[in-house]
Amino acid sequence: MGYACRSAFALGWATADMLKIRVMQTFTRTFLCRAALSLFAAHACAFPLHAAERKPNFLFIYTDDQRWDAMGAVQREQGEQARFPWFKSPNMDRLAATGVRFRNAFATCSLCAPSRAAFLTGRYNHLNGITNNHTEFPVDSVTHATLLRAAGYKTAYIGKWHMGEQSGQRPGFDYSASFIGHGRYIDCPVEINGVSTPTKGWIDDVSTDFAIGWMKQNRERPFSLVVGFKSPHSPRGGKNLPERLRNLYTGETSRPTPNFGVPAIFHPPDPTAATQPQGLAENSIHLDYLRHVTGADENLGRLLDALDALGLAEDTVVVYTSDNGYYLGEHCLGDKRSIYEESLRIPMLVRYPRLFGKGKVLDEMVLNIDLAPTFLDLAGVAVPREIQGVSWKELAAGHTPPNWRQSFLAEYFYEDGGGDTPTLVGVRSANAKLVTYPGHPEWTEVFDLAVDPYEIKNLAADPAAKAKLSAELDTQMKAMNYAVPANADKPRPPADPTLAAVKDQPGLPRVLLIGDSISMGYTLQVRELLKSKANLHRIPTNGGSTQDGLAGIESWLGNGKWDVIHFNWGLHDLKHLKAGKLDLSGPQVSTVDAYETNLRALVKRMQATGAKLVWATTTPVPEGADGRIAGDELKYNEVASRVMKDLDVATDDLHALCLPKLTAWQLRKNVHFKAVGCAGLAAKVAIAIETALHPGER
């Protein structure tokens, strides 16, 4: 039996389970499509591929959170406007010089998992089932991988997948070597075809090793390989980098942009932001960010070298891109999500020596949803009608279709735990943009990108500027069947008054409390004790583990100026979980080493705000507490104490405070505190904050 037959057999379509799974919701015409593909697969069995009919291989490489301009070729092109003129990416440049660079490439939804799902399915997120980072990718989805596999391709997914905490074989791929969620940069366990396997070294180096090994084994038949790098996603810098990159670019300075200090429309104006770079506008953060991009560039180079060495370069379509863009201080923002240019744009380099131009630069707008139809087009596989993207094969081959898109729909859906970016939908044309925020007509934005590329002057009040774009938005929404899907998260006001936002009293310093349920127990009392002395804010959630901290920190810090940040992580790192429940037979959420790495990254990020930091030690774990071992907090506190000493952070020793009073203060076999304990902790925390605000006065 030839490989095409085995492949068709392995598809296992139309099993009873698959028929049940959300077919109607995610892909209404799946049945028709599957039937057609079954026919195709049968045909492929009868006529196995010959060398002369060889179809192209596909090597699709994407980074996580790489801005479109984190590329040497773009920096040089930007001249005086370049933010990092000293940044070099020889391998991206090499790909651009031997292929095509799309200057105007975009993610239709600038967020990790949604964009990844859009690349896979060629469909918008309001239809493909993924509107946030915490939903697993529906395993019955039709993707470029499932369709190419049905057409006789060997398929593999290697590296970062990042759809919820999805585990196991990556759906649609014959082979996968991937990790759960964000994984970690160093010695990350990798699931090889679903089986967890320890690895050594920096994860993007490791993923590249897997990819090269797999290409060697599969060089004889058409293949489609996806490689997902973790870089440059946070946590960045220090031990998250391989040693060879840690000091790269030291001494270099990034340039500011005209939209520093111009807040996103959904954030209140911040009078301090214009004068001082804060947070993601901080130079040291930029250097680490670009060190990680360089790591990705080096591995891109290794993949290109491997193609050369295997004699596959001519026959392989290479695409290099990122899942979304990234703010580095523009519009007082870090992270991504909203659709200002820095976030909406992505890098896009493509190469296929047999067909595409060499060293060409194209200005036509291309999207993440175009990837799947392009691959199918190049492979000679019919593109299902459900796919909303458009193949750029002809464009890259030098024939611009006369009806190429003049505008496109961009969207974002509010995400639980993903900060305060609201649901939005907008349209971008070649030189203008309209953004609407459902329920907030006062936030509508219109930009003339030709004269205002930094999106500083909102023209929403100008009916002439708005009218044409509004009509185009309507057209696009209809064409793309836009509706906020039922599975999108809905903003909920916090039920707990402890978590509710507070308004600042003018003239008082601003203090942020970051912590888990222990801090929730004393927040209101600390606020009362500091009344008329400080504006005490807290994060709008349980701060969880350091991993949760890394995911939430950008939105928690927001764009405001903080004078003091009082923080703790620990009880959620040291807890043991099994199948999501507290259970001592499961592993700890963070090993002591992971805790240290995460904590360092968090402290450095908070220090970049300019706030004074106060670390609260983790309170005692009593004997008999569910899923936690009494005394573990000592190990975690010991590590934390070393981190705070290294990074010169003050300590508020809550552990020492409550140790002699535990029987009276703490609940039995429970990490939480009785009212008397909460009051005792509140008094100590209030004093620590006052001391940080006014050193030497107490």
Which spans of this chain sit near Ca ion (rule: CB under 5 A)?
Answer: 64-65, 112, 323-324
Nearer to Ca ion, 152 or 334 (CB): 334
Written as six digits, the tokens of 84 are: 């990092």
3-class state of residue 589 by DSSP: coil
Sheet holding 564-567, edge to edge: 535-538, 510-514, 564-567, 612-616, 650-652
Residues 351 and 595: their CA atoms lie apart, in Å, by 41
* 276 closest CA partner among 81, 70, 560, 539: 560
- 65 versus 548: smaller Cβ distance to Ca ion: 65
Quote the least distance from Cβ 326 to Ca ion, whole Å: 8
Shortest distance (Å) from residue 116 CB to Ca ion = 8
Q: How far is the CB of 158 from Ca ion (least distance, A)?
A: 17
**Residues in the chain, how many?**
698
**Helical (H) or strand (E) element with 277:** none
Amino acid letter, residue 288: D
> Least distance from C-beta 237 to Ca ion, angstroms?
17
Whichever of 182 and 286 has its CB closer to Ca ion, that residue is: 182
Is 322 or 423 the residue whose CB approaches Ca ion more closely? 322
Distance CA 329, CA 66 (A): 15
- Closest CB 691 distance from Ca ion, rounded Å: 39
Nearer to Ca ion, 214 or 320 (CB): 320
Tokens of 493: 């006001």
Question: Rounded to the nearest 10 degrees, what angle do helices 30-46 and 3-11 cross at?
Answer: 160
CB 584 within 8 A of CB 268: no
Query: In sequence order, what are the beta bridge partners of 157?
Result: 176, 226
Residue nearer to Ca ion on the CB measure, 112 or 306? 112
In angstroms, give the least distance from the CB of 336 to Ca ion: 6
Q: In the bound complex, what is the minimum distance in angstroms from residue 607's beta carbon to Ca ion? A: 24
For Ca ion, the closer of residues 105 and 621 by Cβ is 105
Residue nearest to Ca ion (CB): 112
Closer CB to Ca ion, 112 or 649, in the complex: 112
Closest to Ca ion by CB, 64 vs 297, is: 64
The DSSP symbol for 55 reads P
Cα–Cα dist 589/576, whole Å: 6
Least spacing, CB of residue 458 vs Ca ion, in Å: 27
> In sequence order, what are the residues at sequence separation of 6 or more whose Cβ sits closer than 8 angstroms to the Cβ of residue 168?
191, 194
The nearer residue to Ca ion, 65 or 472, going by C-beta atoms, is 65
Whole-angstrom Cα distance, residue 7 to residue 153?
8
683-698 in b/e form (b: 16+ CB < 10 A) is ebbbebbbbbbeeeee
Reduced to 3 states (helix: H, G, I; strand: E, B; else coil), residue 673 is strand
Cβ(162)–Cβ(188) below 8 Å: no
Query: What minimum distance in Å lies between the beta carbon of 124 and Ca ion?
Result: 17
* Residue position matching structure tokens 């535990």: 662
- State the nearest-atom distance from the C-beta of 293 to Ca ion, in Å: 13
- Cα diameter, the chain: 86
User: Identity (one letter) of the amino acid at 483?
Assistant: A
